[in-house]
Amino acid sequence: MNQTHAVLNQDVIAQLIARPRGEDPVVSLYVSTNASDWRAALKSLVKEGEAQIEADTGWDEARKKTARRLLALARETAEERLQGGARQRRSYAIFVDPAGVEVVELPLTVRERVVVDRSPYASPLSSLIDQYERYGVVFCDSKKARLFDVYLQQLSDWEELEDEHQPHRHAPAGGPARRGGGPAGGYHGLEELRRRNHAEYLLHQHLRRVADRAFRRFKLRPYDRLILLGPKEVLAKLEEHLHDYLRRRVVAREPAPSDLTPETALELVCGIEERVEKEKEEALLREIEERRGKSGLGAAGLDESLRALFFGQVDVLVVADDEPIPGRECPECHFLFERPEDREDTSATLVECPLCKRPTRRVPDIVDEAVELAILSGARVEHIAYCKPRLRDLGGMAAVLRFK
């Protein structure tokens, strides 16, 4: 069977989500090399997958047999990855369908899980991409600069710039100073002014060069946000030289040691990133609460959010990467709804759709189905990572609405 390998990026997720949804089984298996006993963990995941297959009321025995075969192939692929020489990555997402196997290498640890459904379970990958935006970082003082990117908690493209116009020690800026007393001493103030003006000119040239380089890097590999590191007075002047595209992306201006190393820089930026993302999540959830109270253009809870999604009202869907929530989907009208009994009852049970009264099918994770539907409908999806308790208070899912 054909097997492909990929590293996590936006294109990989887009391709997974864009796969047409049919009736053939698709196995999605997430495994981690960090598990203390990965064999036992994998065995438990396979057992859970088998239970999902048995509980699916939409498949006949032939398709269930196919699903079991694909699940066994996913297990074999996971065993090869976990016990072989390819353990440099922390986690793997493995997708198996009748056409082949796709292995996505993940630079971060994700929760182990298995989903047997009719399309790839890509919500955890979408959550990673959404949580970890690409950050451009510029460290700058009056004499040097360091430029680099941080994405998925990994530092890349480290570049060092030195001021090309620093004056030599034996030749003070502005020319040699006059010595002695008499009338020549009267020129001391003018000489000092020339020296200061020349230093300002050199700083201006240095900052312009740094800003130009930052913009060139942005054009080659765009980033979502920009962090400025260095002395406060230098950063204020540097920001004046930045292109407007970059100024609009600045989210933090922080001091940093002059002997900044890649290791120190990564630790510093990850702390800033966590603070920025938490503030963004708090602002979004606060906006939804205000919209619910004032204009009615906010939804909270699974029932409200899923109904709004079905009727095309959702502008931004807000979810969290928590434990999968089993639910129901109508194959006819595609309405999604939660049935609390499905959390405990994994037997094959026929349940009618609340809207069209047709038989529905059980889905392993209603949140993943909602994410897929939101993306296909043109809505933006925001994954909450740092404010999960607040989202749970809102019912586990929320939305900003386009209209009532």
What CATH number is attached to the domain comprising 145? 3.30.420.60
Task: Report the half-sphere exposure of 11 (CA within 13 A, side-chain side).
Answer: 2
In this structure, the answer to whether residues 101 and 201 fall within a common structural domain is: no
Residues 27, 109, single domain; the answer is yes
In angstroms, rounded to a whole number, what is the distance separating the alpha carbons of residues 334 and 306? 11
In this prediction, residues 346-360 reach a mean pLDDT of: 81
Which pLDDT value is given to residue 177?
42
240, 260, 280 — which closes off a domain? 260
Instruction: Give the whole-angstrom CA distance, residue 124 versus residue 28.
Output: 11
Same domain? For 93 and 140 the reply is no
Claim to verify: residue 112 and residue 199 sit in the same structural domain: no
- Residue 141 tokens read as 């003082």
**pLDDT of res. 34:** 67
Residue 179 — very low, low, confident or very high, per pLDDT cuts 50/70/90? very low
What is the average per-residue pLDDT within 208-227?
94
> Regarding predicted confidence, which is higher, 228 or 344?
228
Q: What confidence score (pLDDT) does residue 172 get?
A: 44
| Cα 127 to Cα 121: distance, rounded to the nearest angstrom | 12
How far is residue 320's CA from residue 367's CA, in Å, rounded to a whole number? 8
The string of pLDDT tens digits covering residues 86-136 is 445 568 899 999 989 999 888 777 788 899 988 898 878 877 776 678 899
pLDDT of 4 reads 76
Name the burial class of residue 142, with classes exposed (0-12), middle (13-18) and buried (19+) by CB atoms within 10 angstroms of its CB. middle
In the chain, pLDDT over 70 holds for what percent of residues? 87
Q: Which domain holds residue 108?
A: 1-121
Same domain, 45 and 78: yes
Is 58 among the domain residues?
A: yes
User: What is 76-135 written as a DSSP string?
Assistant: HHHHHHHHSS--SSSEEEEEEETTEEEEEEESS----EEEEESS---HHHHHHHHHS--E
Residue 11 has pLDDT above 50, yes or no: yes
Comparing 104 with 83, the larger pLDDT belongs to 104
Strand order in the sheet with 380-384: 298-300, 398-401, 314-320, 380-384
Extract the tokens encoding 311: 């009727």
Task: Report the predicted TM-score, pTM, of the whole model to 2 decimal places.
Answer: 0.70
What is the SS3 string spanning 354-365? CCCCCEEEEECC
Please give the pLDDT value at position 334. 87
- For residue 265, the model assigns a pLDDT of 94
Mark whether 95 and 147 lie in a shared domain: no
The token pair at 287 is 């906006």
pLDDT of residue 346: 63
Taking 70 as the threshold, does the pLDDT of residue 70 lie above it? Answer: yes
Phi, psi angles (nearest 5°) of residue 291: -65, -35
Matching residue, tokens 């949804």: 21
Of 266, 262, 260, which is closest to residue 145 (Cα–Cα)?
260
pLDDT at 169: 43
SS3 content of the chain, % helix, strand, coil (to 5): 45, 25, 35
Q: Is residue 73 part of a domain?
A: yes
- Check residue 178 and give its pLDDT: 44
What the block records as the tokens of 182 is: 């008499």
Which one-letter amino acid corresponds to residue 380?
R
Query: What's the pLDDT band for 75 if we cut at 50, 70, 90?
Result: very high
Question: Do both 68 and 114 map to the same domain?
Answer: yes
Domain presence at residue 168 = yes
Q: Are 347 and 362 in contact (CB under 8 A)?
A: no
Domain boundary among 230, 260, 290: 260
The residue with greater pLDDT, 152 or 257, is 257
Quick check: is 234 in a domain? yes
Decide if pLDDT at 391 tops 90.
yes
* Residue where a domain terminates, one of 260, 286, 310: 260
Q: What is the dihedral of CA 216, 219, 224, 225, to 10 degrees?
A: 20
Distances (CA, A) of 287 to 169, 236, 295, 365: 57, 31, 11, 26
For strands 100-106 and 3-7, give the pairing. parallel
Q: pLDDT tens-digit profile of 20-58?
A: 778 899 999 998 876 567 788 889 999 999 988 988 877
Domain count, the chain: 2
- With 80 as the cut, is the pLDDT of residue 328 above it? yes
Residue 122 and residue 368 in contact, taking contact as beta carbons nearer than 8 Å = yes
The predicted structure's pLDDT at residue 199: 73
